[in-house]
Structure 1
Amino acid sequence: MTATESVPRQALTATELQEIDRYWRAANYLSVGQIYLMDNPLLREPLAPEHIKPRLLGHWGTTPGLNFIYAHLNHQVRRRGTEMVWIIGPGHGGPAAVATAWLDGVYSETYPDVGLDAKGMRKLFRQFSFPGGVPSHAAPETPGSIHEGGELGYALSHAFGAAFDNPDLVVATVIGDGEAETGALSGSWQSARFLNPVRDGAVLPILHLNGYKIAGPTVLARIPEDDLLAQMRGHGYEPHVVAGDDPDTVHQQMAGVLDTCLERIDAIRFRARHGDGTAEDVRWPMIIMRTPKGWTGPETVDGMQVENTWRSHQVPLTETRDNPDHLRSLEEWLRSYRPDELFDADGAPRSETTAVVPSRERRISGSPHANGGLLLTDLILPDFRDYAVEVERPGEKKSEATRVLGGFLRDVVAANPRTFRIMGPDETQSNRLGAVFEATDRTWNTGRLPVDRQLSPDGRVMEVLSEQLCQGWLEGYLLTGRHGLFNSYEAFIHIVDSMVNQHAKWLKASGALPWRRPIASLNYLLSSHVWRQDHNGFSHQDPGFIDHVINKKPEIVRIYLPPDSNTLLSTMDHCLRSRNYINVITAGKQPQLTYLTMDQAIAHCTRGAGIWEWAGTEDGEEPDVVLACAGDVPTLETLAAADLLRRHLPELRVRVVNVVDLMRLSNEGEHPHAMPDSEYDMLFTRDKPVIFAFHGYPWLIHRLTYRRTGHAKLHVRGYKEEGTTTTPFDMVMLNDLDRFHLVMDVIDRVPGLGVRAAGLRQRMQDERLRCREYTRKYGEDAPEIRDWVWEH
């Protein structure tokens, strides 16, 4: 069947058509009730103003189409026994998700106080978009949802993430035509090229064209159909069209097209798994459904067309409490669904209404895949200690932290061939994680050339030059009960700022729901970071992602800045074992000094912050100054500054403090990891100057510590938006984070030291000038800078 042909047979019997239509009418009635009613849920008395909510919130326009699709999905699952979840892409489709979950019985099982009767229906209506109730979109509170539709663009990437390594699952994904205009969704069509029918599930995209966004037309609904079909074919899909406004006709079309699509999915799977085993050049089916916006709602309001226009997007009748005509129209609208046929005298759905609901274990809204913690199993992790870098003396030898980590991740991949994936925008090798390719390849199903390497349909590393697509895949993968890691250049992870917002909100909301089981944490490894992007320059220099993440709820976010290879190994092991967090690890890929043995690294990471006694000169006495650091390059410069102070001011008592868990600095009571004030005071002192060398923007440290006792004497050096293509040391000098400037800060801030050490301060200024002149003359850092090691 071609995309534009009508269904060649009567797909539904009269009984099936009636069953699907009953379910659809019931879901529509429940959806309208959620938007408008706070009482009289079954219209057992004439509708009165006091039955209407004082604030009408919610979105009707997309809802009837969603309910229509869900009714047909139910019918197919009941017939076939298909294992299915659905994802709602259109914004604010919450009424449909809640209504269908209630009709399926899942909502009442999840929330027994919202029973399958008139009392439960009244609560279902009253709670929607009501203070203390439930949101207007498919939020974590909604059974069957793994996708929150508050922000558009992520439905399809989430769907493919859910399908990876889920061989029996079909993810039916409704994409709104407004959502289809977003960059994230436009890029997501390419996901089909990464789906392996041998080991993965299937995604069935349903592009719902109802013609309008909130206030204007949509692009894909207005372009010529031939262009739209060509676009979908170009993305690797086999498009099938359902179109019309007559319910009976469209029911028959939809049933026939769904039959065709699901049969095609079965055939693709069978051939791949039992035939030639190929995973390349598969053309997956998808559906383009054209139906009116606000279908079955009021056709006109106040003399203006509403159905099939943008006016139906939100609340079609806005004055139902004060305008008798609007109130009358609302009652006519609700009664048009014939609720007495749909619900019995007690308010429960009649058996004929729920005849299309699948068996208990196959109900879409009750799928365990939509509550991924139920399916989550622990990763099999090798002992990270086995990958330790040998450290005989601190600061003497170098290693590449992420290259060392790559060996550990290689064996994580090998030990978890169905539950762990690495996502990243073509940077796995660049970020020195290349050892993983000893155990796996990049996922690739589309055309290979003899020159290609490390490409396979079975690859566990997923690379595409869209951070949003990588993020969406990983979120879908985690939300359905698996584990993963996102590695990226530090500067460009900002592209997913809004997506991490939404995931953080999901974790926060789901954490308050006992029935939502914890999922694996969202783990970021940020490398190629600000201080070693000296070759790429200013465009690649931005450490601000941690500032963004730190705004999220403290029970969710964790920020780690391991200073060397062994601390990175310990940190990654901890993060991969964690649940319901967003973990951000920043670690450089370039050769850096190693400081701690593995046992020391474990202890240091467990503390999160600690004194490095070997680097200081306090000798059991109260220090004159504290040199603190967080991040690998700031740690190097801090130690080099401590070395200079030891040599030139041996009488000065210096304490060196390294911070690996940034949230330990938080003011007491503001984060679960925040150290008590007493511990902070012991570590940083109550009244001594603290010179803090920080990986990111310096004001973040001030924000974290503003209520600490010694905050007035805390001076932070970090990135201050100065960068260019230059040498590594010139980069830190540009931002006054270099060792010479840190020594100058000590001289400026330790009482009585300024006059006595004025000559040393001047020499430090001269050293900065000399080092800069050397870089301009020779194009590299001076050997004593480049080759510096800790020699004490």
Structure 2
Amino acid sequence: MAMAKQLTYSTSAREPIAAADIRAQHADTLDAIARYRRFTNYLAAAQIFLRDNVLLEEPLKPEHIKDRLLGHWGTSPGINLVYAHLNRLILQYDIDMFLVTGPGHGAPANLANLYLEGSLHDFYPELTFDKQGIHTFIRNFSWPGGFPSHLYPGVPGTIHEGGELGYALATAFGAAMDNPDVVVACIVGDGEAETGPTATAWHSYKFLNPAESGAVLPILHLNGYKISNPTIYGTMSDEELTNLFTGYGYQIQIVEGGEHDDLDAQMYGALDWAYQEIRTIQQAAREGNPIVKPYWPLIIMRTPKGMTAIKELDGQPIVGSYRSHQVPIEDPKTNPAHLALLEQWLRSYHLEELITEEGRPKTEILEQCPVGDRRMGKNPHTYGGKITRDLELPDITNYAVQEDRGMPTRRGGTNVSSMEQVALYLRDVIRQNPQLFRIFSPDELQSNKLGAVLDVKPREYEWPVPPHNEKVAAQGGQVIEVLSEHDCQAWLQGYILTGRHGLFPTYEAFLNIIVSMMDQFSKFLKISSEFPWRLPVPSLNYLETSTLWRQEHNGFSHQNPGFINSVLNKKALVSRVYLPPDANCLVSTMDHCLQSKGKVNLIIANKQRMPQWLSMDEAIAHCRAGASIWSWASTDDGVDPDVVLVGIGDNLTLEVLAAAQILRDELPELRVRVVNVTDLFILENESDHPHGLNQDMFEALFTKDRPVIINFHGYPSAVKQLLFGRHNIDRLIINGYREEGTTTTPFDMNVRNGTSRYHLVIQAIRQAAAHNPRVAARVNERVSHYEYRLTEHRNYIQAHGSDPQEIVEWQWH
């Protein structure tokens, strides 16, 4: 009999009990768990292969086999082993627990357990405990309109799909934060463990306060193989694994052996040990005597891949090899010998011993499952929309940019960092919402001028830090910084999917690191909306700053607005992109996004001090509309313009206003309308996006036939995508980032990409000349003049290394 192996530390509440002793003490319970696992293993295998004769009431025939065989068998027996024993732990200790499953396409196992515990029936009434119900259940797997081969929102108890590997562990930690009573079990596959996101996620306990948060119980499943390769972790010895995870800060117990070893006794003891370790660490912290550098429990489960299946096929090993990873028998429908092997495999579980004549699981099987909300498929935390509490938000008028001496200032007369202003608002959101709101940031709060949020509590970090590190402490803080965008994203996902609220501020260029995670989460939200029992959860909010237009000092590598394009491609139900032009608009936008649900909100704002254009009342109205004519910057309030200048983004709007002022001062015969867009999706047609404008409203803003020059923060392709299908779009000129950048001056970034005020003036003159003869009479002279100004600019920055004072000190008048 294989024995459990453990490395103990001073925090250990007790020594683990040997497997032989556990067998002697709990033989009946372990036998019942083994029978339960036989049933779930059968159900998992049957889902992959069978469409009919699902109870094997007659010899297996080709017509009983599905035409398409999907799903992954190799990981399923391990998931079933863990699930069965987590159920036992819940029953024994009445634990508030649910499971995050990392191994991809292991849904046959999860579904088998959810069927037996009755969670599936609660949402899918046709999945009853009888012959028809079990037939429907098995047939519907990987069937059109049925359950896919990986987890998804239609599977009860799911907050993580596992489709893209690497994020399960950090998601589990996010779910545990500020949930003091919950224990989140997380299965990490050894293929998944090879990913970078998982490698950083092992450190998550260093950010988890045991007094105020719950716990995560990681279970690393080493079955040794990926699709066609050994896994890195599977090739490591027990000693090497112990050394690795001890360094991460864990104490380890190893459960290992084949199907003929007493895995049930080992897992029984390992989970009991782990649960007691968790409670010891939490109790010490909650009694005011926290353990310094507590070593949290980690179970490493080393089992043969695909155990309990056929041992070999055509002379090649199946169990314990990569050949069991997906579908071990690929052609049973057309190969009689392989069909016979499949039947032999399925009958080896002796299903007839586990069900009644009516097809109902026997009572001793169902007794292995918790009931009510203690079922992992019905744990309330996995239905975050049902338990969400709205944030207590401060009055945004308290964060309006202050006017000098109580007197109204002229437009643009006050220079303020939008980020510093919204930080004051976020500081009070944190103060008013303990255990309900968190900020996850990749070590950029101070750089992004959000330091005011630390006035309430320091950054959360549980391990001791060297002296002279201000505002970092183990005090249950609501701000976490770590140099892993993957962890920030996954923590936030776990946090909001369990009903809380959060924000992810970061550098613009490096938000692209988690594009695929945003894609997966957007899909999760989209599919969730199709199930009435999945109520909307708080939105995932990105605050994208340190934008490309002011990354001139960091250079070309830091100049990338591509995340906008990725968000635009998500479903209109989910995606939102906001580009507030000043601080008051940013505060108003943030307030809106923190109240929204079921969205992916991208907010883009510069961190540098910039002119402020709108009062708070004006900002609120402007943000509600999504776009408006800035009559104060237009000729005759924007009536009957020769050309429309549109700013989208704070830096690009500044250039629009500078161009409008130049035209007003130097070419007053050219009539200009200035429009600012803060909600990017208003450009799309109302039939394509709920924020989109119908054609009449679109023409009210941008006219029906006048030239429109758009100065956009990101790639022009994004705006072109939104405008596709609009009438008469040939009149629109779209400027934006054209992948031109280097280490240069701020204004030169605009010059290089054709978004400067001088480029806009030249474009406006040329476009207006076609229908305004007074402008046409001066077009050659004026265009030549501003082209010369551009040449002067290049010469100036080469000689001085900075922008001319007329650019740096420009103000609206």
TM-score, with normalisation over the residues of structure 2? Answer: 0.96
Are the equivalent residues in 2 in contact too, given 1:373–1:516 (CA < 8 A)? yes
1:17 maps to which of 22, 30, 33: 30
Could you say what secondary structure the match of 2:105 adopts? coil
Hey, what's the Cα distance between the residues in 2 that align with 1:415 and 1:275? 24
Find the counterpart in structure 1 of residue 179 from structure 2. Answer: 166
Displacement of 1:330 after TM fit? 1.5
1:153 maps to which of 160, 166, 191: 166
Find the counterpart in structure 1 of residue 471 from structure 2. Answer: 454
Q: Does 1:3 align with 2:9?
A: no
Displacement of 1:247 after TM fit? 4.5
Find the counterpart in structure 2 of residue 375 from structure 1. Answer: 387
1:609 maps to which of 606, 627, 634: 627
Could you say what secondary structure the match of 2:365 adopts? coil
Could you say what secondary structure the match of 1:10 adopts? helix
Find the counterpart in structure 2 of residue 762 from structure 1. Answer: 784
TM-aligned CA distance change 1:640 to 1:676, over 3 Å: same
Displacement of 1:88 after TM fit? 0.7
Q: Does 1:91 align with 2:104?
A: yes
Find the counterpart in structure 2 of residue 432 from structure 1. Answer: 449
Hey, what's the Cα distance between the residues in 2 that align with 1:735 and 1:618? 30
1:641 counterpart letter in structure 2: A
Are the equivalent residues in 2 in contact too, given 1:563–1:660 (CA < 8 A)? yes
Residues 568-577 or 16-25, more deviating: 16-25
TM-aligned CA distance change 1:8 to 1:300, over 3 Å: closer
Q: Does 1:351 align with 2:363?
A: yes
1:682 maps to which of 654, 676, 700: 700
1:413 counterpart letter in structure 2: I
Displacement of 1:280 after TM fit? 3.5
1:76 counterpart letter in structure 2: L
Displacement of 1:430 after TM fit? 1.1
Q: Does 1:598 align with 2:616?
A: yes
Are the equivalent residues in 1 in contact too, given 2:766–2:779 (CA < 8 A)? no
* Residues 78-137 of structure 1: CA deviation (Å, up to 9, x unaligned): 011111111111111111111111110111011112222221111111111111212101
Hey, what's the Cα distance between the residues in 2 that align with 1:386 and 1:636? 25
Find the counterpart in structure 2 of residue 308 from structure 1. Answer: 320
Structure 2 residue ranges without an equivalent (≥5): 8-15
1:48 maps to which of 37, 61, 85: 61
Structure 1 residue ranges without an equivalent (≥5): none
Could you say what secondary structure the match of 1:585 adopts? strand
2:165 counterpart letter in structure 1: L
Hey, what's the Cα distance between the residues in 2 that align with 1:228 and 1:754? 77
Hey, what's the Cα distance between the residues in 1 that align with 2:18 and 2:615? 69
Hey, what's the Cα distance between the residues in 2 that align with 1:539 and 1:215? 36
Hey, what's the Cα distance between the residues in 2 that align with 1:691 and 1:620? 15
Q: Does 1:529 align with 2:547?
A: yes
Hey, what's the Cα distance between the residues in 2 that align with 1:624 and 1:710? 16
Find the counterpart in structure 2 of residue 422 from structure 1. Answer: 439
Could you say what secondary structure the match of 1:722 adopts? coil
1:282 maps to which of 288, 294, 301: 294
2:430 counterpart letter in structure 1: V
Give the root-mean-square deviation of aligned CA atoms: 1.4
Could you say what secondary structure the match of 1:352 adopts? helix
Hey, what's the Cα distance between the residues in 2 that align with 1:397 and 1:587? 17
Could you say what secondary structure the match of 1:768 adopts? helix
Find the counterpart in structure 1 of residue 808 from structure 2. Answer: 786
Sequence identity percentage? 49
Displacement of 1:536 after TM fit? 0.9
2:301 counterpart letter in structure 1: M
Q: How does 1:248-267 map to 2 (within 5 A)?
A: 249-267=262-280
Find the counterpart in structure 2 of residue 394 from structure 1. Answer: 411
Q: How does 1:530-545 map to 2 (within 5 A)?
A: 530-545=548-563
2:767 counterpart letter in structure 1: R
Q: How does 1:333-732 map to 2 (within 5 A)?
A: 333-390=345-402, 392=408, 393-457=410-474, 458-619=476-637, 621-732=639-750
Are the equivalent residues in 1 in contact too, given 2:19–2:266 (CA < 8 A)? no
Could you say what secondary structure the match of 1:788 adopts? coil
Hey, what's the Cα distance between the residues in 2 that align with 1:662 and 1:521? 18
1:106 maps to which of 109, 114, 119: 119
Hey, what's the Cα distance between the residues in 2 that align with 1:244 and 1:728? 63
Residues 632-641 or 532-541, more deviating: 532-541
Are the equivalent residues in 1 in contact too, given 2:121–2:128 (CA < 8 A)? yes
Are the equivalent residues in 2 in contact too, given 1:196–1:279 (CA < 8 A)? no
Displacement of 1:248 after TM fit? 5.2
TM-score, with normalisation over the residues of structure 1? Answer: 0.98
Are the equivalent residues in 2 in contact too, given 1:90–1:152 (CA < 8 A)? yes
Hey, what's the Cα distance between the residues in 2 that align with 1:260 and 1:110? 35
Displacement of 1:140 after TM fit? 1.0
Are the equivalent residues in 1 in contact too, given 2:181–2:214 (CA < 8 A)? yes
Find the counterpart in structure 1 of residue 13 from structure 2. Answer: none
1:124 maps to which of 134, 137, 161: 137
Could you say what secondary structure the match of 2:245 adopts? helix
Q: Does 1:225 align with 2:238?
A: yes
* Residues 295-340 of structure 1: CA deviation (Å, up to 9, x unaligned): 1011111221111100001111111111111222112211111111
Displacement of 1:620 after TM fit? 6.0
1:320 counterpart letter in structure 2: P
Are the equivalent residues in 2 in contact too, given 1:317–1:330 (CA < 8 A)? yes
Hey, what's the Cα distance between the residues in 2 that align with 1:41 and 1:758? 82
Displacement of 1:8 after TM fit? 5.7
2:315 counterpart letter in structure 1: G
Residues 391-400 or 538-547, more deviating: 391-400
Are the equivalent residues in 2 in contact too, given 1:163–1:200 (CA < 8 A)? yes
Q: How does 1:732-751 map to 2 (within 5 A)?
A: 732-750=750-768, 751=770
Could you say what secondary structure the match of 2:750 adopts? helix
1:495 counterpart letter in structure 2: I
Displacement of 1:9 after TM fit? 4.9
Displacement of 1:618 after TM fit? 4.1
Are the equivalent residues in 1 in contact too, given 2:169–2:218 (CA < 8 A)? yes
Residues 384-393 or 103-112, more deviating: 384-393
Are the equivalent residues in 2 in contact too, given 1:376–1:519 (CA < 8 A)? yes
Displacement of 1:479 after TM fit? 0.9
2:324 counterpart letter in structure 1: S
1:446 counterpart letter in structure 2: W
Hey, what's the Cα distance between the residues in 2 that align with 1:616 and 1:758? 24
1:322 counterpart letter in structure 2: T
Find the counterpart in structure 1 of residue 344 from structure 2. Answer: 332
Hey, what's the Cα distance between the residues in 2 that align with 1:713 and 1:147? 46
Hey, what's the Cα distance between the residues in 1 that align with 2:344 and 2:639? 84
2:445 counterpart letter in structure 1: T
Hey, what's the Cα distance between the residues in 1 that align with 2:253 and 2:718? 52
Are the equivalent residues in 2 in contact too, given 1:198–1:279 (CA < 8 A)? no
Could you say what secondary structure the match of 1:353 adopts? helix
Displacement of 1:590 after TM fit? 0.3
Displacement of 1:275 after TM fit? 4.8
1:782 counterpart letter in structure 2: P
Hey, what's the Cα distance between the residues in 2 that align with 1:521 and 1:145? 18
1:313 counterpart letter in structure 2: H
Find the counterpart in structure 2 of residue 774 from structure 1. Answer: 796
Are the equivalent residues in 2 in contact too, given 1:478–1:522 (CA < 8 A)? yes
Are the equivalent residues in 2 in contact too, given 1:685–1:710 (CA < 8 A)? no
Hey, what's the Cα distance between the residues in 1 that align with 2:638 and 2:468? 62
Residues 341-350 or 150-159, more deviating: 341-350
1:764 counterpart letter in structure 2: Y
Hey, what's the Cα distance between the residues in 1 that align with 2:552 and 2:720? 27
